[in-house]
Amino acid sequence: MSELVIIGSERSEAGIPAAMEILRRGGSAQDAVERGLQLCEDNLADHYIGTGGLPNARGIVELDASMMVGSTRAFGAVAAVKNFPNPISIARAVMEKLPQHALLVGEGAEAFADFLGFERAELLTPEARELWLQQLKTVPQESIEGENTKATTGDERYRLASLELVKRMAPHEGPWGTINIIALDKNGELVCGVSTSGYPYKHPGRVGDSAVPGAGNYADIRYGSAACTGRGELALRSGAARTVVENMRAGMEPEDACYAALQEARALPDDFRAELRCLALTPDGRHGGAAGMEGSTYTLMTEHSTQPEFRPRKALL
């Protein structure tokens, strides 16, 4: 019997204790990851996932989520889903009930969720809407009246302003973004789940790394599982989660495997650079993480924990 271990990214502590309780009762890593992320998605104080997530450039919340199982490398994901509060559950359903496919987007994903009877809900909370509006007010006037701007209507100016805002986005001071949870159950199954409302003010239809296997989520029972938060385009372009797993396959410890994957991503040219973070868990319960800045942590619970512990991530020099 394997030791029970769960790790998660910043703010996953909203769901990890309940996920560990599922494992302690003999439940599967799939159930633990799904429940843990559902609770994070339902946390209205979190503006980067589920209900209360920050919207896209049109003010609409679009969610991405995925789940991957280490023993089979089965993968299910949804992207750009509107009006369903728990995309992780739809992603799991894609994996288990629609195995001929791995990723559904937009209306098709919503039709699948309707077919399965998932409840619809308003995802844009008043607080998230207010945050979104405040940020739009900070767009400098020259960005909408500058010489490159041919916009004549308010609608055109609005879209250019949103694009300008995306361009200026800098890494936040504190923890932000997507949530990852990776669980190792008593049967030695390793499952990784990722859920996000994506980059705030993103272009409608933009899909990040969270819904893409090998980019934001990867699990292979032979070597381990890894997941990412932060600048999804860098994780997509570098295949970050798969790189972490390949690094562990080559013999690196999880922390070093994450660090090396971030170094590779950092080498890519990127005018919109923001931080990327990784964490990883091996089939024998070793874990680690890396981040672009000092002071970053990931969350850990084992079968012996009474509460979540916060472990440092190795910071890129």
In the complex, least distance from residue 210 CB atom to ligand GLY, rounded to whole angstroms: 5
How many helices (H) and strands (E) would you count in the chain?
10, 13
Angle CA 207–210–214, to nearest 5: 110
Residue 225 lies near ligand GLY (rule: CB under 6 A): no
Residue 230 lies near ligand GLY (rule: CB under 6 A): yes
Residue 283 lies near ligand GLY (rule: CB under 6 A): no
Residue 292 lies near ligand GLY (rule: CB under 6 A): no
Residue 208 lies near ligand GLY (rule: CB under 6 A): yes
Question: 76 or 283: whose CB is closer to ligand GLY?
Answer: 76
Backbone φ, ψ for residue 25 (5° rounding)? -85, 5
Q: Which candidate in 51, 178, 229, 282 is catalytic? A: 178
Structural tokens at position 193: 């789940």
178 is catalytic: yes
Question: 50 or 198: whose CB is closer to ligand GLY?
Answer: 198
Question: 20 or 206: whose CB is closer to ligand GLY?
Answer: 206
Stretch that binds ligand GLY, among 23-31, 72-80, 229-237, 242-250 (CB under 6 A): 229-237
The one-letter amino acid code at 300 reads L
Question: 23 or 123: whose CB is closer to ligand GLY?
Answer: 123
Beta partners for 105? 79
Residue 209 lies near ligand GLY (rule: CB under 6 A): yes
Residue 308 lies near ligand GLY (rule: CB under 6 A): no
Please give the Cα distance from 36 to 316 (Å, whole number).
28
In the complex, least distance from residue 209 CB atom to ligand GLY, rounded to whole angstroms: 5
Torsion on CA atoms 182, 184, 190, 196, rounded to nearest 10? -20
Nearest alpha carbon to residue 169 among 211, 231, 93, 246? 231
Structural tokens at position 167: 């361009």
Residue 213 lies near ligand GLY (rule: CB under 6 A): no
Residue 199 lies near ligand GLY (rule: CB under 6 A): yes
Residue choice 55, 76, 87, 198 for contact with ligand GLY (CB under 6 A): 198
Please give the Cα distance from 268 to 273 (Å, whole number).
10
Residue 36 lies near ligand GLY (rule: CB under 6 A): no
Cβ distance 166 to 202 under 8 Å?
yes
Structural tokens at position 62: 């679009």
The one-letter amino acid code at 69 reads V
Please give the Cα distance from 169 to 49 (Å, whole number).
18
Residue choice 9, 195, 196, 238 for contact with ligand GLY (CB under 6 A): 196
Instruction: List contacts with ligand GLY (CB under 6 A).
Output: 177-178, 196, 198-199, 208-210, 216, 229-230, 232
Q: What is the set of active-site residues?
A: 178
